[in-house]
A and B are shown apart, each in its own frame.
Chain A
Amino acid sequence: MSDDVTSGWFDARIVTGAHPASLLPPTDRDAIAAHLDRYALSGALVSAMASWLHDPIGGNVEASAIAHDLADHGVLACWTAVPATSGELDSLTDLVDRAVDDGVAAFRIHPASHGFSPALLIELYDALQTNRLPLCVDAAELSWPDLNTIATRFPELPIVVSNLGYRKLRELWATLVGHTNVFVDLVDFAAHQGVEWLAANDLADRLLFATGLGVRDPGESIVRLAWSGLDDATVRLVGSGNARRLLQGVRA
């Protein structure tokens, strides 16, 4: 085992902004920079807490501000989308076009938190697939049947499931083996030996390192991967290789 393989990981999920109901480390610009330095990370994908818990579209400005400010640290923005309801958003295709122009690397949706059916975002999935931008979603935000429906209808759209918890391996397994375009990140990926079990079943290329700084304690994912039972090459693959393959703009 080499200690070197625990540097250069890409953190595929950070949420910037205050959390209203947790005692968590800070996530402003300086805190994110310090997080990247402390754990020798090569970069991160950042979305905005405001997009989740206050203003879905307006909050994207805060994610992009962090990404632009920390571009030299390898930070990329992840925007949030909602259906194109009159007065809220004109067109999902236009939103994705603006995101591409801004260098955004992925999109996140919160169907449960934002009160809409995931079927209302067909235009978004189509635009993301066309532009090769991944769709990120928390496991609690949509049902497994809905996830499978999207993955089937858009087979070239990478979908990253986050915040899995420790009770969902039966559902996750069925989805991963049924859809090669579904991935899972390490944010609260808490099943005992879950990482090793997926790797032993040839699914290591579906795992993305991510800490969830802002919504989780980052130490969870750091230690989970560093002291895992994976060999060095697989640690490197999960730590950064898969993100580089999936997200445009991730540095080597």
Chain B
Amino acid sequence: MIGRRPQHRIVDVHAHLGPYSLFFIPESDAATMVAVMDRTGTDVTVLAANRAIQQDAHLGNSQSLAAVDAYPHRIAAYAVINPWQEPEHELERLAGDDRFVGIKVHPSLHRYPVTGARYAAVWAFAESTGCPVLSHSEHQSPYDAPRLFEAVAERYPGTSVVLGHAGITPAGVDEAIAAARRYDSLWLEVCGSQMTGPLIRAMVDQVGSGRVLFGSDFPFIDQRMSLGRVVCAPLTESQRQDVLSGNARKLFRWRPLPGERGVGQ
């Protein structure tokens, strides 16, 4: 019996906000997201507004900041950098506004490869500041297949890159694991509709529990789907707590998340 009360403290490093045109999302607002977080034991969520990834990075980033302003102790924001929408301008905005704690890129949606020149400023900024970058990653994508991040890691070894969805498919997870084993700067995030507890266990076994992060994609997808896979996965309690929040607190050192200062700060 699992009970109705969560047993872990959670940091969700992969979230969104607001509507998405392709399908209906009930209650995609920040207030409902925080209410869900209360039920699941989530202390902090780091989000990037759907408008920022889907249509307009600048306006969407403003929506993310409004959510931070409404819930400064529960929500932190990624600045979405779209390589086609004045990336340098949004990087300047990110640098000057400490409500942003990281960068989010979505190469598949923006149809531009992580190895392309238009992303170079992102990787250079992240390397020079310590700002973490969350990227969508998708097996066999010409824009963000896990193996492509090896070139980024090789060229920018000081840039912490989180492979969102860890490649998405089972074969993509294997590829993401291989990349993360070769490069310590690559982290794996566990949300995705094909993810399972045994796949998460494979990540922990082969990369170590110190670079696997909990994320959910909510409200794109309900947070409890991804959370259930981790909560019920065949992990030790120490490994599970690393994944659910410990590693996020280590990763976000540039601008620590609400509720606790980053490790080493």
Report which A residues bind B (CB closer than 8 A): 1-7, 21-25, 39-40, 165-170, 173, 188, 190-197, 216-224, 226-229, 232, 235
Contact = CB atoms under 8 A, between A and B. Distances in A.
A173 B25 CA distance: 12
Contacts, number: 135
B178 interface: no
Interface in B15-46: 22-28, 32, 35-36, 39-40
B223 interface: yes
Contacts of A217: 195-197, 228-229, 232
A165 B193 contact: yes
A39 B232 CA distance: 10
Contact of B193 (A6, A24, A40, A166): A166
Given A24-B196, A219-B228, 9 more contacts: A166-B23, A166-B221, A170-B23, A192-B27, A193-B222, A222-B228, A224-B222, A228-B224, A229-B35
A175 to B, nearest CB: 14
A29 to B, nearest CB: 20
B120 interface: no
Interface stretch (B1-9, B76-84, B179-187): B1-9
A240 to B, nearest CB: 13
A7 B1 contact: yes
Contacts of B198: 23-25
Interface residues of B, number: 42
B244 interface: no
12 contacts: A3-B3, A39-B1, A166-B220, A167-B23, A169-B24, A170-B23, A191-B24, A192-B223, A193-B32, A220-B229, A222-B2, A229-B36
Contact of B1 (A6, A192, A193, A216): A6
A165 B222 CA distance: 10
A169 B2 CA distance: 28
- Nearest 10 CB-CB pairs, A to B? A219-B232, A223-B228, A219-B228, A192-B219, A3-B3, A197-B26, A167-B23, A40-B1, A217-B196, A1-B4
Nearest to B223: A192
Given A23-B170, A223-B228, A6 B2 contact: yes
B127 to A, nearest CB: 34
Contacts of B123: none
A224 B228 contact: yes
B204 interface: no
A32 to B, nearest CB: 15
Contacts of A165: 193
B4 A166 contact: no
A192 B222 contact: yes
A203 B230 CA distance: 29
A23 B39 CA distance: 29
B231 interface: yes
A227 B39 contact: yes
A220 B228 contact: yes
A202 to B, nearest CB: 15
Nearest to B33: A192
A227 B221 contact: no
Nearest to A5: B4
B95 to A, nearest CB: 32
Identify the interface centre among A7, A191, A196, A216: most chain B CB within 10 Å of its CB: A191
Contacts of B230: 219
B202 interface: yes
Identify the interface centre among A22, A39, A170: most chain B CB within 10 Å of its CB: A22
B227 interface: yes
Interface string B190-217: 0001111111001000000000000000
Contacts of B24: 169-170, 173, 191
A170 B221 CA distance: 15
A91 B214 CA distance: 51
Nearest to A198: B26
Contacts of A190: 193, 221-222, 225
Contacts of B1: 3-4, 6-7, 39-40
Contacts of B39: 227-229
B149 interface: no
B91 interface: no
Given A170-B24, A218-B232, A219-B197, A1 B222 contact: no
A188 B221 CA distance: 10
